[in-house]
Amino acid sequence: MKLAQRWLPQYVRGRLKGRLTTRPLHVLFCLVDHFEPEWGGADLATQLARVERWATEYPSLARRHRDADGMPPRPTFFYPAEAYHPDVVETLAQLCRDGFGEVAIHLHHDGDTSEALARKLEQAKVHLSRHGLLARERATGRVRFGFIHGDWALDNSGPDGRYCGVNDELQVLSRTGCYADFTFPSAPSPTQPRKINSIYYATDDPHRPKSHDTGEDVVVGGQANGSLLMIQGPLTLNWARRKYAILPRIENGSLSQDNPPSPQRVDLWVRERIGVRGKPDWIIVKVYTHGAKSSNAAVLLGPAMDETLTYLETAYNDGAAFRLHYVTARELYNLIKAAERNEPGSPGQYRDYELLRACGELRGA
């Protein structure tokens, strides 16, 4: 586990969490997709075919599943801004209009400047908004977006300085309307921050990279305190999958052909109890994939995902001990802000707390 010494101390501290007694526990399940139809240098026809596969196959999978609020699982497709093509995005937008997902911004860039980065993000907002995508503030109508950084190199965090170049990236993201970053965990990549299994505010230091290495946890009764909200997924050790039959493998919430979803992994994700401090009964499970890649799409649209969703609905939605809520990235942000303000009751009622989905009411789900 190369470089694990950076985050293992916090992992060990996390093992010391006490038992939860509050019931029911609300499990907020969010799938974020680094959705790259252009993966591998694909031509337009291949890109369209990859997106059309999702548009054709995903609704039938999603319709077989419901959470405690009657909602189907809906991924958030983080579309790469640098690869924008209107025909590809329009096909994806129709899937979202039909109630089977939402869209946010993904970006790969290298050797960039703050000014150029801001222009790219603003242009991405214009492009995606033309299709009725991205979120809008309830109070002002301002366009907002969730973000995942390409190559994990947020805030110039790669050790070789590649795939970013901007030391004040958190500030640039905030200024251009980013409501939260969903990039991490990235282990075993060296871009992995020290802080793990956390929902926290990171404060940008424009004079150094990787300002999100540390930050202040979001707490009930607190307020935004930093440049950008960081929403992390689970990072733990999976002793059921061993390397050389001895060492545990890293569990980082990645869903792929090589590491498909499974009931056993679900239990690991829930066990990390990621959430807002002071709201222990709201447990966040944010996992990720690269779903446009054909080999991964076969997993995400096939029996392994179907079985995993069924297990979620069986083990974590009995109404007494657990209630399951399928949420998009935007909805997850809204629920985190509601928890921060100690709103009472079920989290399902706060899906549109601050940010609205641009596509309007769901239909067809």
Is 365 among the domain residues? Answer: no
Q: How confident is the model at residue 239 (pLDDT cuts 50, 70, 90)?
A: confident
CA–CA separation, 53 vs 46, rounded Å?
A: 11
Q: Who's near 344: CB < 8 A, 6+ residues apart?
A: none
pLDDT in tens, 9-44: 665 555 556 566 577 999 999 999 999 999 999 999
Residue 169 maps to a domain: yes
In a domain? residue 362: no
Query: Taking a C-beta distance cutoff of 8 angstroms, is the pair 296, 257 a contact?
Result: yes
pLDDT band for position 246 (cuts 50, 70, 90): confident
Residue 177's nearest CA partner among 237, 253, 229, 219 is: 229
**Is the C-alpha dihedral spanning 89, 53, 186, 15 positive or negative?**
positive
Using the structure block, give the residue that is written with the tokens 């995508």.
133
Whether 288 is covered by a domain: the verdict is yes
Mean pLDDT, all residues of the chain: 93
Judge whether 167 lies within some domain.
yes
Radius of gyration of the chain (CA): 19
Q: Which structural domain, as residue segments, surrounds residue 229?
A: 4-15+24-357
The pTM (predicted TM-score) of the whole model is 0.93
Q: Read off the pLDDT of residues 136-184 as tens digits, 9 standing for 90 and up.
A: 999 999 999 999 999 999 999 999 999 999 999 999 999 999 999 999 9
CATH number of the CATH domain containing 322:
3.20.110.10
pLDDT digits (tens, 9 = 90+) for 282-329: 999 999 999 999 999 999 999 999 999 999 999 999 999 999 999 999
Contact (CB, 8 A) for 187 and 250: yes
Exposure string over 4-15, b if 16+ CB within 10 A, otherwise e: eeebbeeeeebe
Q: Which residues contact 292 (CB under 8 A, 6 or more apart)?
A: 33, 35, 36, 37, 39, 50, 51, 54
Domain count, the chain: 1
